[in-house]
Every structure is written in C-alpha cells, then in structure tokens.
Amino acid sequence: MFFQDMIRGGTAGNSCFDNYSGRGPSEGAQNALGDKRVLVLTKNLKDARGRAATIERDFTTLSTENWCERYNVPVSFVAG
C-alpha cells in the first residue's frame, strides 16, 4: 500500500485521483494493482500531513479488516 498527500488543482490534468473533483489537500492510498482511493479531505496541508501520519500508523498497527473499516475501504482494495 502506498500513501500520498496531494494538493488538489482545478483541472483534471492536476488530478492524482480521477474519482475526486474537489480542491484542497487530501490523503490517498494506492494499492499494488495501481488502484487509487481518496481517504481523507482536509482544509490545509498541515492537517493533511497530520492525517497521513495517523493513517500510516493505523495501517501498521491495526488488522487489515479494522483499518479498512476505519477508513471505509473495501478489504479487496488492500488485498488487491
């Protein structure tokens, strides 16, 4: 699993995740198959980085099922 914080731009060309069309920082994950998913939207970059640290820490300390439940991610996304 790969986590990334992003600054959202106003055009699709700036978009890292095609399924998100808003603006502002967000935290996302990418699985081994290259599927991408936005996990958290934040108001500023500082909040986004703080959330990223929490998401990554949770990923290493929680079971896969518990992490997926907490972040509303299908288990199949992580297993993919």
What pLDDT was estimated at residue 17? 39
Which residue is listed with tokens 């997926």? 68
Kindly give the confidence (pLDDT) of every residue in the chain, 80 residues in length, as a single tens digit, with 9 standing for 90 and above. Answer: 656 555 444 333 333 433 444 566 778 888 888 888 888 888 877 888 888 888 889 999 999 999 999 999 999 998 86
CA distances for 54 relative to 2, 19, 69, angstroms:
14, 23, 15
The tokens describing 12, both together, are 């699709």
> CA dihedral defined by 38, 72, 76, 48, rounded to 10 degrees?
30
Task: Report the predicted TM-score, pTM, of the whole model to 2 decimal places.
Answer: 0.70
Range of the domain at 44: 2-79
How many structural domains is the chain composed of? 1
51 is written with which tokens? 């959330």
